[in-house]
């Protein structure tokens, strides 16, 4: 049986907008100011609105880079496996670890090249995906909204 969440659902009508700000940093500063003023911040939420997916292109992906990235990730996996097997090795554990890294790098290089070739040139770039919000609402429990506004020194909440 799962435990109930301690966080009330976002659709709850028990929260009011204290402030709406354009950046997450500004929302963090508001919550930090409330915390510094000894406000019970467990009654505060920061909700991003107008979410959109953003993909930042970080560079071209050539056969050489695909092989290099594959070899690097394979070497990390080989290091992990080599260390794990090295624990149970009688004798030179260093040789086991080294072979793990070398074999991992070789297979990673191979799979990196094959994987890149399989795209057929449709995705010759690397990227990082994330989400951004157009604005951030700082919400406060309805029974605490006036106290939060007073602690911020801004009078009444925005909504």
Q: Given this model, what pLDDT does residue 158 score?
A: 59
> Whole-angstrom Cα distance, residue 76 to residue 13?
49
The answer to whether residue 7 is domain-embedded is no
Burial group, residue 30, by CB count within 10 angstroms (0-12, 13-18, 19+): buried
Residues 76 and 139 occupy one common structural domain: no
Residues 43 and 94 occupy one common structural domain: no
* pLDDT at residue 37 greater than cutoff 60: yes
> Whole-angstrom Cα distance, residue 155 to residue 158?
9
* pLDDT at residue 84 greater than cutoff 60: yes
User: Phi-psi region for residue 85, left (φ > 0), alpha (ψ -120 to 50) or beta?
Assistant: alpha
Q: Are 65 and 112 in contact (CB under 8 A)?
A: no
Q: In the numeric block, which tokens belong to residue 113? A: 């090249």
* pLDDT at residue 91 greater than cutoff 90: no
> Whole-angstrom Cα distance, residue 49 to residue 132?
9
The answer to whether residue 76 is domain-embedded is yes
Residues 73 and 45 occupy one common structural domain: no
Q: Are 54 and 127 in contact (CB under 8 A)?
A: no
> Whole-angstrom Cα distance, residue 138 to residue 119?
43
User: In 3-state terms, what secondary structure has residue 63?
Assistant: helix
Segment 122-148, tens digit of pLDDT: 888 989 999 999 999 999 999 999 999
Q: Find the domain containing 140 and state its range.
A: 15-51+133-152
* pLDDT at residue 97 greater than cutoff 50: yes
pLDDT above 90 covers what percent of the chain?
75
User: Residue 151's Cα: distance from chain center in Å?
Assistant: 31
How does residue 104 score in pLDDT terms, banded at 50, 70 and 90? very high
Q: Using H for helix, E for strand and C for coil, what is the string for 100-138?
A: HHHHHHHHHHHHHHHHHHHCCCCCCEEEEEEEECCEEEE
Segment 46-68, tens digit of pLDDT: 999 999 999 999 999 999 999 99
End-to-end alpha carbon distance in the chain = 39
The answer to whether residue 32 is domain-embedded is yes
The answer to whether residue 159 is domain-embedded is no
The answer to whether residue 9 is domain-embedded is no
* pLDDT at residue 4 greater than cutoff 70: no
């Amino acid at each position: 049986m799962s435990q109930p969440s301690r966080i009330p659902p976002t659709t709850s009508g028990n929260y009011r907008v204290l402030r709406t700000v354009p950046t997450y940093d500004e929302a963090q500063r508001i919550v930090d100011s409330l915390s510094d003023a000894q406000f019970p911040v467990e009654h505060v939420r920061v909700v991003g609105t107008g979410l959109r997916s953003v993909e930042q292109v970080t560079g071209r992906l050539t056969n050489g880079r695909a092989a290099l990235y594959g070899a690097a990730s394979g070497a990390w996996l080989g290091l992990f496996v080599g260390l794990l097997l090295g624990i149970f090795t009688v004798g030179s554990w260093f040789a086991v670890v080294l072979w793990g890294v070398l074999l991992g790098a070789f297979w990673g290089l191979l799979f990196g090249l094959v994987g890149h070739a399989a795209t057929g040139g449709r995705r010759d770039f690397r990227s990082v995906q994330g989400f951004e919000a157009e604005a951030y609402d700082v919400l406060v429990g309805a029974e605490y909204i006036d106290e939060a506004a007073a602690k911020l020194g801004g009078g009444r909440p925005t909504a």
